[in-house]
Amino acid sequence: MSSDKAESTSELAHALSATPLRPSLLPRQLSEDEFALFARVGVAREVSQGEVIFRRGELGRSMFIVEAGQVQLEFGDGLPDKIIGAREFFGELVLFIGSHTRVANAVAFGPTTLRIVDQETFEHLISTEPRLLAQFMRRSFSYLVASEQQLIQSLKRRNEDLMVTLDSLRQTRTQLSTAQRLVQTDELSGLCNRRGLYMFLERLGEHRLPGTVLALLLVDLDRFKQINDRCGHLVGDQVLRAIAEEVQNAASSVDVPCRLGGDEFALLMQVTGEEELCARATQIIGAVRALRFPGCKDGLAITVSVGGSLCGEHADWAVWYSDADAALYEAKGRGGDGYHVAIPGSVRCVV
């Protein structure tokens, strides 16, 4: 380092520590001496209203002084814009740390006259006008620190607002999930209802297991009206819940047990073939036969009829239901307490 430069640097450092702030000036306002200095060395530039001086994200290399007119700084990201007026400066950070990415758009708010001071000119002024530059730099540093603290507080507030918003979204999502679950669930049995079944059918392809075929069982309580008449509706509801539990027990994790309404239940399954389909029907019938309800005179034993079929891959729910319902009607016609399964090419019935 040359002796002249070392001396000017030392003098500047001394001036930075010794020069008092001038509270009468606005944070970005230049003193008369500072303005006269920058106006003398800066390059003049005339800009018209709406003209972009620089854009956010651009690499900056110069500071700007407003000689006449106004400039609007647009920070974006929800931060307020700022208006820079006559005898004020902006873009000064590049002079202190070298090339710097602009953090705002600078747009002429009206016809404006600027003075542009580049880094080389600023460094020359440090050598020739150290006391004046120290005054300017000290005030600039104070403003930058205050702006940074203000930004930190703003970000903290925005972070708090964001956390509140996220918490609200989580609560809303939970409420929506709960509402959706209630809409898709039968209140009495806790099984899927028709709406839930239809929604599952819409995305059935996402749940298919390789090596399986679709099958449907329809489960209908035998002589349900007599149970209600003899034992009352409370016992009737207890019976329905018990059957729902046995239908649920016969389902795997990829199956959909459902209460279609009244005393009719359905189990949409993915099975390996007719043997497993018949085994599931047998399981449900046997489990229901073993149920007893002491709330009725002499206890109450119940039975169900089950109709089932394998589902054609290219058919829809209406066809699947029609085939299984025909099989259920056949089981009912044989006196109930059994199942009838229709298999393409053959028929199996157990009573």
Which residues are the active-site residues? 263
Whole-angstrom distance, CA of residue 288 vs CA of residue 220? 11
Q: Which residues pair with residue 307 across a beta bridge?
A: 218, 340
Q: Tokens 């880094």: give the residue.
A: 119
Tokens of 308: 């089932």
Tokens of 194: 């028709």
Radius of gyration of the chain (CA): 41
List CB contacts of 57: < 8 A, sequence separation 6 or more.
101, 102
Contact yes or no for 83/75 (Cβ under 8 A): no
- Burial class (CB within 10 angstroms; exposed 0-12, middle 13-18, buried 19+) of 343: middle
Buried b (16+ CB within 10 A) or exposed e, 295-333: ebeeebebebbbbbbbbeeeeeeeebbebbbebbebbbe
Q: How far is CA 114 from each of CA 63, 111, 155, 178, rounded to the nearest angstrom?
A: 10, 10, 32, 61
List CB contacts of 250: < 8 A, sequence separation 6 or more.
257, 267, 280, 283, 284, 287
Q: Tokens 């953090």: give the residue.
A: 103
Residue 336 DSSP label: S
Q: Which residues pair with residue 83 across a beta bridge?
A: 72
